[in-house]
Amino acid sequence: MALGEWEERWQQNKIGFHQPEVHKMLKKNIDKVLNGRTGVRFFFPLCGKAVDMKWLADMGHAVVGVEISEKAIRKSGVLHQRRRHTNYLCDSKK
């Protein structure tokens, strides 16, 4: 899909691809992923407004997401956003 088509989907709220719950495999395996670590930095390319990002940020981890749609970033609940070329970069830095 072209970038403009993604933007259009967000503007028209045609976001059937959005998952409203944290991914069940991430939830199930989070202890294995963390392996006792705190303050882990997670990267979410093509993040949309994935709720997984806020879930991890609320646990104290750093989250960086890259997304073309400003609307998606605004709705992600992740704190900061910066424009980088054609993409928005959002992160959980306080």
Ligand X SMILES: C[S@@+](CC[C@H](N)C(=O)[O-])C[C@H]1O[C@@H](n2cnc3c(N)ncnc32)[C@H](O)[C@@H]1O
Least distance (Å) between residue 15 CB and ligand X: 7
When CB distances to ligand X are compared, the closest residue is: 48
Does 50 bind ligand X (CB under 6 A)? Our answer is: yes
Q: 75 CB contacts (<8 Å, ≥6 apart)?
A: 49
Does 2 bind ligand X (CB under 6 A)? Our answer is: no
Report the SS3 class of residue 79: coil
Q: How many C-beta neighbours within 10 Å does residue 56 have?
A: 24
Q: How many C-beta neighbours within 10 Å does residue 45 have?
A: 9
Does 67 bind ligand X (CB under 6 A)? Our answer is: yes
Comparing CB distances to ligand X, the nearer of 4 and 38 is 4
Which tokens sit at 63? 């989250």
Report the SS3 class of residue 21: coil
Does 69 bind ligand X (CB under 6 A)? Our answer is: yes
Residues that bind ligand X (CB under 6 A): 3, 6, 17-19, 46, 48-50, 66-69, 72, 87
